[in-house]
Amino acid sequence: MSSSAKLTPKGYKPRLIESRLDFLMDAFGCVEVTGPKWCGKTWTALSRSTSVARLDEPAVREAAEVDPKLALMGDTPHLVDEWQEVPEVWDAARRYVDDSGNKRGQLLLTGSTSLKQDMRERVHHSGAGRIARLRMRPMALVETGDSAGSVSMAALLDGQELAPARCETQISDVARWCCRGGWPANLGLSDEAAAETARQYVQSVLDVNVADERRSPDTARRLLRALALNESQAATYKTLAKDMGYADHVPDADTIASYLELFTRLMLIEDLRGWEPALRSKSRVRVKPKHYFCDPSIAAALIGATPSRLLRDTQTLGMLFENLVIRDLRVFLSTYAGLGNELWYYRDDRGLEVDAIVECGDRWAGIEVKLSDTKADEGAESLLKLRDRVTSNLAAKNAAPAFLAVVVGRGSLAYTRKDGVLVIPAALLGA
């Protein structure tokens, strides 16, 4: 599909997800693009559309509530933005595709929140075979122009050797990346103006989404801050409740769980679950998940971090940088075809932990995230231990990793160590 569609917004910057979106539009009558607010999904969908109905506009929403088919009127490909405002649009889209003889590339749906239970009951068909789903996230470094993208993760997963590449990044660059975030609206803004985006994002969630759910904005803000304080940790409900800072009471587990469910439904946070190579292992569900924000700038905003402050607190900067790398890895995986593309972390009962496990089809790779290449030895040691534990059980016939890599913030060279572990600056990593 041409990237010069009629509704492409002025100033639109191409996204990695476009090739996957085009593929799905060629294979399905309708594609739903989901993602957190302000991540750019509407602009990307507009770049593939010739007409649009915006259900966050009162008059358009009111018409769709009377007759959902009215939201689907327009030249194709037709975009219905924020379709979840009128859940009945989903079934109408499915019928539209059926009535067209399952013609491909007819409709696009975008949404920034998953349906809650009472609204899901208003959707009667899964959309299987008619509606494909695609998850979008804030921009990776390679999309914002902060990474050259010369090291392809897909190529490494395919078994290609790493070609040495050079860049020059400093800790100050990492601090800027974490505070600016991957928001398309930040492109071209000063660091000070860009940092305001995440603060306004959090305020919007509290003022609009949390209020619409009849939840407490104070409880939501406190829990979000507790999540930020425990960034990149598998924090328990007890720890989160304690870090919410209430003097007179501690929220119970059900309260914590309900707010975490809300944040997940808003795509504000995304869980990273524990990995075990045996496909039927119970470890995949028994290891506590980590809660990562969709973008590190949100955590930075919640704890009042600025680039200058982070340079004096490299431990916090390291946790934010891990969130950034997890974001980018998820962006890359979302562009790959096939089932089984997933991101995990590893932790066992012997204290070994690895930050990220990439699964793509029948291949896997281990990745450690370090703020500086001076910590590459430490990361490589953990990765080699993981490889040995995974492959030592011959009866399990577990595959060796496609690659092992330490992704670093400050660094000047992507290269292969003598032990086979790759060292890759984040400013060189691409899809």
> pLDDT, tens digit, for every residue of 315-361?
999 999 999 999 999 999 999 988 789 999 999 888 899 999 999 98
Q: What is the pLDDT at residue 4? A: 46
Q: Is the pLDDT of residue 282 over 80?
A: no
Q: Which one, of 5, 263, 30, lies nearest residue 128 by Cα?
A: 30
Sequence-separated contacts (24+) of 319-322 with Cβ below 8 Å: 319/231, 319/232, 319/233, 320/178, 320/231, 320/296, 321/174, 321/177, 321/178, 321/296, 321/369, 321/371, 321/409, 321/426, 322/231, 322/232, 322/355, 322/369
Q: What is the amino acid identity at position 122?
A: R
Q: Is the pLDDT of residue 265 over 80?
A: yes
Cα separation of the two ends of the chain: 21
Per mean pLDDT, which range of 113-117, 175-179, 231-235, 290-294 is the poorest? 113-117
Q: What is the pLDDT at residue 350? A: 87
Q: What is the mean pLDDT of the chain?
A: 92
Architecture of domain 18-135: 3-Layer(aba) Sandwich (3.40)
Q: What are phi and psi of 282, to 5 degrees?
A: -75, -10
Paired tokens of 268:
């504000």
DSSP secondary structure letters along 274-291: B--SSTT-THHHHSPPEE
Domains in the chain: boundaries: 18-135, 141-430
> pLDDT, tens digit, for every residue of 19-44?
999 999 999 999 999 999 999 999 99
Q: What is the mean pLDDT of residues 93-110?
A: 94
**Entry pTM:** 0.94
Local confidence band at 123 (pLDDT 50, 70, 90 cut-offs): low
